[in-house]
Structure 1
Amino acid sequence: MLRDRIKTETVTAMKAGDKPRTATLRLIAAKVKDRDIELRTKDVPEDDDAMVIDVLQKMAKQRRESITMYEDGGRTELAEQEKSELVVIEEFLPQQMGEAETKAAIEAIKAETGADGMKDMGRVMGELKKRHGTQLDMGRASGWVKESLS
């Protein structure tokens, strides 16, 4: 389970005295705990690894946006810190699908659902997220779906 792997890596980093890695791993654990608290009010239990991956994807997206902003603002030391956190976060994410694989999956879903225009974008995106949500950057995938449907 991904949650257990994060705990194990935290202990290993603490024993090794790797403070930046330990801090990032603790941050990940805190975000996962926050999501656990949010989900207490829901009736439907979510797949635990899928929930952890969702948290990690959001954290990675935030880091990428911050890196861009810091580099544009000339704050290289902060950008470097964000990059080091991003490396740790990405260790726990599943291998992301490449552009070619994603476009092939989009075409397969289009064929299965009979999607032929922009009115079907929601249906294609929903199915894409259901099948490959943990392996995709849905923002980029959205652009490819639009391109495919137009």
Structure 2
Amino acid sequence: MSLLERLNNDMKQAMKNKEKDKLSVIRMVKASLQNEAIKLGKKELSEDEELTILSREVKQRKDSLHEFDKAGRQDLVDKLHTEISILELYLPKQLSEEELLEIVKQTISEVGAKSKAEMGKVMAAIMPKVKGKADGSLVNKFVQQHLS
């Protein structure tokens, strides 16, 4: 079942169950997917493109979360936590730190990187492997630790 089909089914269920938050998030994700398809001039997005959009939506919320937390807006922080948990239902299972660390070590040896100057090369090789399964800032942190 494609992501769009899952979203449509979950949207119908959310309407029946009167889950306003879930319905709102699903509609927003569907709009983002459709806008991206229009922008790229495609009828349907690939799984990889859908994953990119979902990851972008989660990242935007996590970034906003920090800002709202600093501003003391607990109501908005709670709302964003709810939205993030709904979005994460559609992302692939996240890698554990141990699994991610193993991928980082393996990729560094594959690329043959020795210093932080080669960090871009390592990141370019890792990110396609962990797309949607790990937070980019965490990947960046692990790569920096192993290249220092």
SS in 1 for 2:139: helix
Unmatched 5+ stretches in structure 1: none
1:105 is displaced (CA, Å) by 0.6
- Between the aligned residues of both structures, percent identity stands at 25
Cα distance change on mapping 1:124 and 1:32 into 2, 3 Å: same
Distance 1:104 1:10 in 2: 37
One of 103, 106, 112 as aligned partner of 1:105: 103
Point out 4+ residue stretches in structure 1 off by more than 3 angstroms.
none
Distance 1:33 1:47 in 2: 9
Which residue in the other structure is 1:23 paired with? 24
TM-score by length of 2: 0.90
Distance 1:24 1:124 in 2: 34
Distance 2:137 2:104 in 1: 14
Distance 1:29 1:13 in 2: 14
Distance 2:45 2:38 in 1: 15
Deviations 1:85-111 (A, max 9, x none): 111111111111122211111111122
Which aligned pairs between 1:47-66 and structure 2 lie closer than 5 A? 48-66=46-64
One of 63, 85, 89 as aligned partner of 1:91: 89
Task: Indicate the RMSD between aligned Cα atoms, in angstroms.
Answer: 1.9
| Contact preservation (8 Å) 2:14, 2:20 | yes
Which residue in the other structure is 1:39 paired with? 40
Deviations 1:30-51 (A, max 9, x none): 111111122128xxx9962221
1:81 is displaced (CA, Å) by 1.4
> How many residues of Structure 1 are paired with residues of Structure 2 in the alignment?
147
Cα distance change on mapping 1:96 and 1:10 into 2, 3 Å: same
Deviations 1:53-99 (A, max 9, x none): 11111111111122222122121111111111111111111111122
